[in-house]
Every structure is written in structure tokens, then in C-alpha cells.
Structure 1
Amino acid sequence: MTRVSVARELRQLLRLQGFRRLFTVRLVSQAGDGMFQVGLATLFFFSPESQGTAADVAVAFAVLLAPFTIVGPWAGVFLDRWRRRQVLVVGNAVRVGLTLTIALIMLTSGVGPWIYVLALVNLSVNRFLLAALSAAQPRVVDGPLLLTANSLAPTLGAVAAGLGGGIGLVLGLLLEPGRTKDAMSLFIATAVFGTASLLALRLGKDQLGPLRVSSPADVRNELVRVARGLVDGARYVWVRRTPGQALLVMGVHRFIYGVTFVASILIARNLLADPSDTQAGLATFGTILGASAAGFALAVVLTPTLSPRTGPHRWIGLMLLVAALSQALLTVTLTQATMLVGAVFLGLAAQGTKIAVDTIVQRDTVDGFRGRAFSLYDMLYNAAFVGAAALAAFTLPDTGYSRVVFGLLAVAYAAVAVCFTRFGARTAGDVPVEIERTADRPAG
């Protein structure tokens, strides 16, 4: 696929009204999420009160992500039974209330236990929304354009999150330390989430699926059906082979990536900047995130251009080798320049892998199981990061830099690339009839 054909397909995508409207909701919602997450990151990792040790960073990530690792698998069953348009409308509206409440508490009382509780709920809702966006995309895009859509939408969504985060970073650098600075980006994010909720109303009520909508049921029976649906979804993607293996590789990649991300926070705060100057550490980390975002943007160009020649399977292997290169570079020397170059390579690898995995899961999963597949995706995504944070707490010094650790991460990436390329399934397997029938099992 040439760059000309990519541009042509992008124009074709933007002519699809349903795609444009869903894409707009994604961009606005993720921009608000970028502001929200940067506000939390500034509070947890770059405020004068934070200690900035490997253990502190690991605990913060565990608090933010572990609960949704438990809740996440249940979301897909509802995405396969609730109108996904309504999920986008109500979910963003719920985030308005949660974010506004957090901002008011921070402004009036400072950081307390309720901040952590509400942040957990808020981030859990966001993961639910991202799963809904991915599950809904095949309903608004024609099959031949799905690869380009998977390159464009998530990557530019990540760019939108980066822009939102950039606004939050600028506010954090310009405003004087204090409660006003901590709350400001959250107040802005509240307005953005409200806009995303209103924009979702432009989509048709049933436009995003699923084909079957549940009837009301009591809570106990619904939980039983959720558990059964989760088991059905896991059996389906495993027997189907390609989506199950793609999800497994993405989980391993996320685990390795998580160690590097934690190391980047510590390096920016404690090594490349004076540990006592949290503003300088925040600015350094913002630069690293910007380099990573440049890698994300590069992936949106290279993946649809080159991956059709290799296929998504080999493309994932190639991207994992690029990730190995990013880690090997840091074993040679650590400077701000090598950190930025490594961040570009790792951003390219992370987003390039994600685009290909999304395509495999969407292509080889029927609509009745697609929501569950992407909820399992989110579960692995978050569980791997929590595990990585725990590993980083035991293996990284407080400066974040260890040649041995970065060398082992490079070897791990290369080993996964070789194993997946050589032994991974390239074609989807047949699913027994008894498993296929569970896709249409009514919820009520």
C-alpha cells in the first residue's frame, strides 16, 4: 500500500458519516482523558509531597489500575448487550460528575482517600469507553477500510490525549504550586467530557450495535450471566486462535513496556533533573512523552503503508524488534538525547503493535463476542502494567536507571518477537457450534 492509497482511504473514511461522528467522540473524550491523567500524574509523581521512589510509583500505579483489572473483564458482556451509543453518552456524562467532584475536593480539602477512590472509578469508566469505541468501529466502517480506520482512530485518539495532556502540563508549569494548579486541568477536563457526551448523541441509537439488546433483569441473575458470558468470550478467542494469541502477545508487550514507563518517570524526576526540583522533572517527563507521541504518529503512517505487505502477524514481530532496539540503546548510555530517541522507537513499536492486534481481534471475532474480546484486552492491558510496576519496584533503583534491567527488557522483546513470528497462528481456527451459539444468548 502506497502513501497515495493511504491518503485515498483516509478520504474515503472521512466521507463515512458514522465514522466521522464516532471518531469525533473519540478525539474529544481522549483529549479530556489526557488532561485528567496528567493532573493525576502531576499530583502523584511530581508534587513536592511525593517521594518519587520506585516503590511509591509502583503503589500509585497499582492503586490506579488494579481495580479495573478485576472489573474490566465484566465490561465486554455489557458492551455486547447494551447499546454502545448509550454507553458513550452516559459514560462521558458520568465522568463529568466524577471529575468535577475530584476537582472540588482538591480545591477545598486537598488530597485525601476520596481522591483515590474517585480516580479509580473515573479511570475505570474511561477503559470501558475505550473498549466500547473499539467494539463499535466495525459497525461504521466498511471491511476493506478497517485497517486504515484502526491506524487512524486509536493513534489520533492517543495524539488527542497527548494534546490534552500537553495542556495539563503547560498549566502545571505555568501556575504556582498549590491546590489551584492541581484542580485547574480537571475543571477543563470536565467541560471536555461533557462535550464528548453531547457529541455522541449525534449517532443513531442502534447504529453502534450490538445486534441484540438485553431486557431488564435483577442484579443477581445479571451477574451470573456476566460470568457465563466472560467464560464464553475467553473460550471463543482461545479456540479462534488468532485473536487469543494476539491478546496474549499484547499483554506481554504491555508488561515489558510498563517497566520502561516506570523507569522513565524515575529517570525524569531523579536523574535527568534535580530531585528537589519537581517542576524540572515534570518538564523533562513531558518531553519524553512528546517523543513517545511522535512515535505514535509515525506508526499511523508506517503501519497502513507497510503492514499489508507483511501481514499483521509479521508486522507485530517487526514492531517488537523495534521495541528491543529502543531498550538496547539505553544500555549503551543514558542521556536526554538517548531517552528521547528510545521513546520515539518505543512509541512506534507500541502503537504499531496495537494497531495490528486491534485489526486481528476485530477481523477474526464476530460481533457477538467483540465487546468481550476488547474487555479481556483491557484486563490484560492493565494487569500487565500493574505487574510491571511491581517488578520495577524490586528491580529498579530510585534513579530509574539500570543497564542490566534495560538489557533484559531488550532480550525479552526480541524473544517474544521470534516466538510469535515463528510459532503464532496466521489463520483463525474453526469454532465449535456450541460456542458460537453463546454469542446470541439473551441477557434477560
Structure 2
Amino acid sequence: MSSSFFGDLRVVLRGARFRRLFGTRLVSQFSDGVYQAGLAGFVFFNPEQHTSAGAVAAAFAVLLLPFSVVAPFAGVLIDRWPRRQVLLFSSLVKAVLGVVTAVLVAQGAGPAFFVAALLVLSVNRFFLSGLSAGLPYVVPRDQLMMANAVTPTCGTAASSLGTGVGLAIGMIGGEDALGTGIILFVAALGFAAAALVSLSLRYRELGPHLEEEPEEVRAAVRNVLRGMLSGLRHIGDRVPARDGLLTMGVHRVLFGVATLMTLLLYNNTFTGGGVAGLAGFSVSAALLAIGFFAGAVATPWATARMSASTWIASLLATAAVALVVFGLPFSPVLFPIAGFVLGFVSQAVKVTVDTLVQRHVDDAFRGRVFSVYDVLFNATFVLGAALAAVFVPPSGVSAAVVVAMVLVYAALAVGWTVRARRLSATCKGRGALWA
């Protein structure tokens, strides 16, 4: 296995089927970034409002929680429908809704804007679940780690580039509602382009191939609720995937706390809010994105030399140390560095957990499992924001909250260290890397 990110990218790009799926991801996530630039400017950095912790947490809840309730049902459909069609129709729906949100903002949006934005983000999670479930169809099994490292990371880079383009469009269009509407309309055009790129994939190229599964598996997808429960049981029986998902959920709670704290700091303490707050937060977000990229680059190299459990333990310990050194001073110079480290940890853990799930989950359940993953991803993030809304003051400065985060990361690191030692005593050879 190549230890170079770009070497890994060259390896997986040799496959024509992978290139088609990869292109669909890049175009869609670039457009996601453009859309999020318009959304962030309108919701979180409106110069006419002084954003409180409760208001930010409520916005996250409105935009993320409803989808978290219905996502498991979408997963059953991902396991039943051709996943190419999932990508195609998701992109088309996002394009239409993108136009709707652009019009609503330009006309002076009200509650209807939040409903439309909620639907865009909900369909997007559906789209990303389809990408994850279809990935094993376009790369060999021994290249899954490389593919999981390069695809989400390049997608994140594309999203960050899209955010930058969106901000530039906003500067040209102006700070009023019309400028934001233009950003959202450009994003809608990008979603339509992603739909066109997805047509380069064949109808059944991403599965599922239910005719290859036993009758009891086919029967499981005939009932949505039964299929969802069977997916949950499937995770419970796969210990490495289960432990990875639980750890990711706890990390997302902490990440939600950190995100809300950062928004408050840039809106109310580091700057006076408005354009200055958005600009400062954008710098922090850029370092976070660089951390995402670095974490994905490092993960294939690291997991070729140590077990997945050891790597996760090291990452969690690193997060704890970074919060102490760079977070506690609450300095506008040091705080973004803590964001970089958390980005590194977040992406590295996610790449490792994604691979654990894909290696230990059967294809017939993969869509449902990744939809459950999305529920966990969203709901735990909102839970973290809600906790921060209770315990973090409007200034965003709370040493007690940061110390509590440090203790949780340290406890997780200890747990994975114990797991790594137990596995090293029972597993031999390369299989231990993914036990």
C-alpha cells in the first residue's frame, strides 16, 4: 500500500468506474460548498442580529435533526434502488430546491427558507450515503482504505474551494439578500451539473445486486422498519464497526460543542460579527479543511504501520493535548490551530471508521448502515451544539467546557489503547490491522 496520498490517488484513479463516481462526488461537493457559503452568511453572520448560543444551536437543530429521524428509512431504499439513480435524482432535487432557496432569500426569506434549506441538506445526506454504499463496487477490496482516504478528502477540498468561490460571488453580488440569492442559484447550477456527471455511471454499476443475496436478505428489504432494525442488529454483531461508530458519535458531540463555541467567539468576542466575523470564521474553517486533508493523507501511511485501534487511540490523545495547548488560552491566534488539529483527528478517525464499517458490513445492509451512520453523524453534532448552548456563554469563552472535552477525549484514548493491546495479544499478521 502506498503511503503517499497522491500515490494512492493515482492508484484508485486508474479505474474508469472509480473515476466516474469520483467525478460525481467532486462536482456535487463543490456545489455543496457554494451553497453552504450562502447559507452560513444568511443564518449565522447576519449583521442585523447578535447571535446567541441558543440561536445557533436552534439553527443547527432545524437544519439537521428532522433528517436524522427519517434517514434510516432512506437507507432501506438505498439498499433496494439502483444507487446510480439515487445519485441522479438526489442531485436533480437539490438543483430544484437550490433555485427555490435562492428565490426565497432574494424576496426576503422567512420560515419557508429554512424548510427548503432543510430539504437540500437532507437530500444531500441521502446522496452521500449512496456514494459510500456504492464505493466498494468501483474499487478492489484491497484498495478500500486508499479510496476512503482520498475520496472524502478530495470532496472536502472541493467543498472548501466551493465555499471560497461562494464567498467571492457574495462579495461581487453585495451583502444584501440579492447577493446571497445569487450564491444559492450558482450552487443550484452545480447540483444540476452533478446530475449530468452521474449519468456516466451505468444503471446498476453501484449495486445493489439483491439477486446474489440469500432469500432472507431480500425479504428483509420488503419492510422498511424491519430492514432498519436488521441493519442495526447487523452493526451490533460486527464489533469493530460498532465500536468505531460509537466513538465517532462521541467525537461528533465534542465537534458540535467546538463548532458552536467557534461561531460564538468569532461573532461576539474575536470580532464584532457580520462580515468581519464571517471572514475570521472562514480562516478558521480553512485551517479545519487543511486538517481534514492532512488527516486523510496520514491515515493510509499510519494504518500500514499500526493497528486501526492504535491509530484511533493516538488521534484521540492528540485531540486532548491540542485543546489544552491551543484551545484553553482562547486566543484568536491559537484557537484556529486547535481547529486544524481537530480537523486532522476528525478526518483520520472517519476514514478509519468508514473502512471498518465497509469491511465488516455485508453489501445488502450497507446502505442502511451508512444511513444510520448519517443519523449518528448529524444527531450527535446537534446534541453537542445543544449542550454548548446550555453551558457556553454568549462570548464563547468557557474553560470548564474545554476541560470537560479534554477529559472525554482522554477517556476515549485510554479505551482504544486497551483495545489495541488486547487485539495485539490475540491477532497475528496483517489481519490484526483491521481487527
Query: Same fold by TM (over 0.5)?
Result: yes
For the pair 1:405 / 2:404, whether they are aligned, the reply is: no
Question: CA 1:3 to 1:232, structure 2 compared with 1: closer, same or farther past 3 Å?
Answer: closer
How many pairs were matched up?
A: 417
Which of 280, 287, 291 aligns to 1:295? It is: 291
Matched to 2:332, the amino acid is Q
1:255 — aligned with what? 253
Contact 2:220 2:226 in 1 (8 A): no
Show CA shifts across 1:257-278 (max 9, x none): 1100110111111111124xx1
Contact 2:327 2:335 in 1 (8 A): no
Aligned residues: percent identity? Answer: 40
Contact 2:319 2:345 in 1 (8 A): yes
Question: CA 1:63 to 1:268, structure 2 compared with 1: closer, same or farther past 3 Å?
Answer: same
Show CA shifts across 1:294-314 (max 9, x none): 101111221111122112222
1:153 — aligned with what? 151
Is the partner of 2:375 in helix, strand or coil? helix
Query: Deviation at 1:331?
Result: 4.7
Contact 1:173 1:279 in 2 (8 A): no
Range moving further from structure 2, 68-77 or 87-96: 68-77
Contact 1:44 1:50 in 2 (8 A): no
Describe how 1:378-393 pairs up with structure 2 within 5 A.
378-393=374-389
Contact 2:79 2:221 in 1 (8 A): no
Contact 2:101 2:116 in 1 (8 A): yes
For the pair 1:212 / 2:210, whether they are aligned, the reply is: yes
Query: Deviation at 1:170?
Result: 2.6
Contact 2:327 2:338 in 1 (8 A): no
Contact 1:313 1:356 in 2 (8 A): no
Contact 1:13 1:19 in 2 (8 A): yes
2:67 — aligned with what? 68
Describe how 1:29-44 pairs up with structure 2 within 5 A.
29-44=28-43
Could you tell me how far apart the structure 2 residues matched to 1:412 and 1:382 are? 19
For the pair 1:140 / 2:138, whether they are aligned, the reply is: yes
2:47 — aligned with what? 48
Matched to 2:186, the amino acid is I
Show CA shifts across 1:341-366 (max 9, x none): 11111110000000000000001111
1:268 — aligned with what? 266
Contact 2:220 2:227 in 1 (8 A): no
Query: Deviation at 1:418?
Result: 1.2
Which of 160, 167, 170 aligns to 1:169? It is: 167
Describe how 1:185-204 pairs up with structure 2 within 5 A.
185-204=183-202
Could you tell me how far apart the structure 1 residues matched to 2:105 and 2:333 are? 36
1:87 — aligned with what? 86
Contact 1:331 1:407 in 2 (8 A): no
Could you tell me how far apart the structure 2 residues matched to 1:331 and 1:208 are? 43
1:121 — aligned with what? 119
For the pair 1:335 / 2:331, whether they are aligned, the reply is: yes
2:10 — aligned with what? 11
Could you tell me how far apart the structure 2 residues matched to 1:426 and 1:263 are? 37
Could you tell me the TM-score, scaled by structure 2's length? Answer: 0.92
Contact 1:69 1:378 in 2 (8 A): yes
Could you tell me how far apart the structure 1 residues matched to 2:220 and 2:415 are? 40
For the pair 1:395 / 2:394, whether they are aligned, the reply is: no
Range moving further from structure 2, 252-261 or 301-310: 301-310
Is the partner of 1:310 in helix, strand or coil? coil
Could you tell me how far apart the structure 1 residues matched to 2:89 and 2:374 are? 20
Structure 2 residue runs of 5 or longer lacking an equivalent are 212-218, 425-435
Could you tell me how far apart the structure 1 residues matched to 2:327 and 2:111 are? 39
Is the partner of 1:336 in helix, strand or coil? coil
1:439 — aligned with what? none
1:103 — aligned with what? 102
Question: CA 1:185 to 1:232, structure 2 compared with 1: closer, same or farther past 3 Å?
Answer: same
Describe how 1:14-29 pairs up with structure 2 within 5 A.
14-29=13-28
Contact 1:292 1:343 in 2 (8 A): yes
Which of 341, 355, 367 aligns to 1:345? It is: 341
Question: CA 1:124 to 1:222, structure 2 compared with 1: closer, same or farther past 3 Å?
Answer: farther
Could you tell me how far apart the structure 1 residues matched to 2:327 and 2:210 are? 52
Matched to 1:75, the amino acid is A
Range moving further from structure 2, 92-101 or 69-78: 69-78
Could you tell me how far apart the structure 1 residues matched to 2:99 and 2:173 are? 20
2:416 — aligned with what? 420
1:230 — aligned with what? 228
Contact 1:330 1:406 in 2 (8 A): no
Contact 1:238 1:245 in 2 (8 A): no
Could you tell me how far apart the structure 2 residues matched to 1:42 and 1:223 are? 41
Could you tell me how far apart the structure 1 residues matched to 2:182 and 2:319 are? 35
Range moving further from structure 2, 144-153 or 324-333: 324-333
Structure 1 residue runs of 5 or longer lacking an equivalent are 214-220, 428-444
Query: Deviation at 1:244?
Result: 1.4
1:435 — aligned with what? none
Which of 316, 320, 332 aligns to 1:324? It is: 320
Question: CA 1:332 to 1:260, structure 2 compared with 1: closer, same or farther past 3 Å?
Answer: closer
Matched to 1:87, the amino acid is V
